[in-house]
Amino acid sequence: MSMEHYRIYYKEIPAILGECADTPCMQRLRNVGMNCGCEYTSFPRFCGLKPYSRFDHSLGAALIVRHFTHDDRQAVAGLLHDVATPVFAHVVDFLRGDYLVQEATEDGTRAVIEGDAKLTGILSAYGLEVDDVCDYHRYPVADNDSPRLSADRLEYTLGNLLNYRIRTLDEIGAFYAGLSVGTAEDGQPELVFSDAKTAEDFAFASLACSKIYVSDEDRYAMQMLSELLRFALDCGVLAEADLYTTEPEVIAKLTADERTAAAWKRYCAYRTTRRRPEPEDGGEWRRIPAKKRYIDPLIRGVGRVSAHSDAFRAARDAFLSDPQTDWIAGE
């Protein structure tokens, strides 16, 4: 992500966010990707992507929170929400059997913050406690339940719309400009669109991202990488602590050991997938259910896009109805 992208969210980085971002636990995220290891494969959808890290996403989410709330406490919570993310991110959810919820990677946020002396010193200097910033779920503009729109969900959607070349920088800027803080059905604050057409366009664009997140290539790559990590852990090539370092460090260990080097090379060579109702002879077949995420934005004074747009509701329902029961093999 470029500074130009950040300026869509906020004209300049506030001092507190810049200082907190320049700490060891945040800097590690520069080498943890947003695409969960898929960018290391040869799948055409992923192999040409520009770098998009958890650091990029976290700083972007923080700037969005700061823009809409003017509250440093909420913004820092948004900045730090991914500090406990392991390498390859949600692949570790697959590793731990949490592929349908994908929240296991959030464990340990408080411990990571408390373990970074530079960060806790900065928080103290600004009059903030760890309790203020270790759980961004407390702040609805920063995070809320799907399919609502929050800063976290907005940032990775806009970032991926740009990175997947679904929308241009100007187009995602127009989405952002159309938002303000409104009130959800239960009285909680939520980012809402003022214009129904913009909201519907965003809903369809975000659904295009949702389909990529659960595409055959994405699910297969995450499953196979999780199996490779499990093997590496079981045979001692990796230790559990390695999952909380950086992707270049882990890849270096995988490629340096003959027990895992060939498997990593095979993973990187995946270019296409086959889907069948039942597995066939030949190939590594997997049945892979995964979390389906989508956004149903709120239009001020109108309601959710799904209630306003028959077309979006039908597209959403078709997306959600895929049972993910077919078998997939990569090659």
Give the pLDDT of residue 136.
97
146-158: buried (b, 16+ CB within 10 Å) or exposed (e) per residue? Answer: ebbbbbbbbbbbb
Residue 202 CA: distances (Å) to CA of 2, 16, 66, 120, 252 = 22, 31, 22, 38, 39
Domain boundaries in the chain? 3-215+292-321
Q: What is the pTM of this model?
A: 0.95
Q: How do strand 179-183 and strand 189-193 relate by DSSP bridges? A: antiparallel
In this model, does residue 100 exceed pLDDT 80?
Answer: no
Pick the range with the lowest mean pLDDT from 175-179, 244-248, 322-326.
Answer: 322-326
Q: What is the pLDDT of residues 149-189, one digit of tens each?
A: 999 999 999 999 999 999 999 999 999 999 999 999 999 99
Give the pLDDT of residue 290.
87
Give the pLDDT of residue 319.
97
Give the pLDDT of residue 77.
98
In this model, does residue 3 exceed pLDDT 70?
Answer: no
In this model, does residue 57 exceed pLDDT 70?
Answer: yes
pLDDT band at 5 (very low <50, low <70, confident <90, very high): confident
Give the pLDDT of residue 66.
98
- CATH of 3-215+292-321, picked from 1.10.3210.10, 1.20.120.420, 3.40.50.720, 3.10.20.740, is 1.10.3210.10
